[in-house]
Amino acid sequence: MDVRIPALSRRQLFGAAAALAVLLLLAVRHFGGGGSAAPVVTPLRAPARAKPAAARLLVIDVAGAVRHAGLYRIRSGSRVDDAIAAAGGPTAKAQLDSVNLAAPVADGEQIVVPGRGVAGAVAAAGPAAAGSSPSAPLDLNSATLEQLEGLPGVGPVTAQKILDYRQQHGAFHSVAELEGVPGIGPAHMAQLKGLVIP
């Protein structure tokens, strides 16, 4: 038996192909996702810009030869020079060459600016007298073992621990760093307040 397929025109072929494509698309949509609808695509939004965090404020105590000694709030990342400026600047008797103006300031730190009258007389008397004088602040970064022993509540063992800490961790940037020295607690810190500077 001879079966002949009638010749189709181009228009008929194109129409049949388009109908087949639509049917395939509908079948895939219906059966392809396990019966679920096609996923909904939502456009991505540009992330909102975060507002810059407010600068954290540090509370510091500025004492000694400054115009207005007291508590001040300054921005995190400030230096000793900024703290002295916040206190109205140094007085005429301030001995700024014994203060590290570039040192960063820590929260709760006390910055003591020595005056020329007291510190000058002590320096003239020699380094041993500097440690024994209660009115002249002792620089923790240049103090010798003997000078540290002259501080109240600091004996030879604690003085050596301070020197060891300074050698391991570098220069002191604040008096509060003394709390990192083994054996120095809040009682020692209270005794040393105003007697030492970084």
pLDDT of 38: 58
Predicted TM-score of the model (pTM):
0.38
Mean pLDDT for the chain overall: 77
Over residues 105-134, mean pLDDT: 57
Burial degree of 132 (CB within 10 A; 0-12, 13-18, 19+): middle
Write out pLDDT tens, residues 39-53: 666 777 767 676 666
User: Which of these, 55, 62, 20, lies nearest to 197 by C-alpha position?
Assistant: 62
Residue 125 binned pLDDT confidence (cut-offs 50, 70, 90): very low
- Beta bridge pairs of residue 94: 115
Residue 88 binned pLDDT confidence (cut-offs 50, 70, 90): very high
Q: Is 111 in contact with 105 (CB distance < 8 Å)?
A: yes
Instruction: With a cut of 80, say whether residue 109 has pLDDT above it.
Output: yes
- Name the phi and psi angles at 119, rounded to 5: -70, -35
Over residues 94-103, mean pLDDT: 86
What separation in angstroms does the CA of 67 have from each of 63, 85, 91, 175?
9, 9, 6, 22
CATH of span 57-197: 1.10.150.320
pLDDT of 122: 37
Write out pLDDT tens, residues 126-155: 333 333 334 468 888 888 888 888 888 888
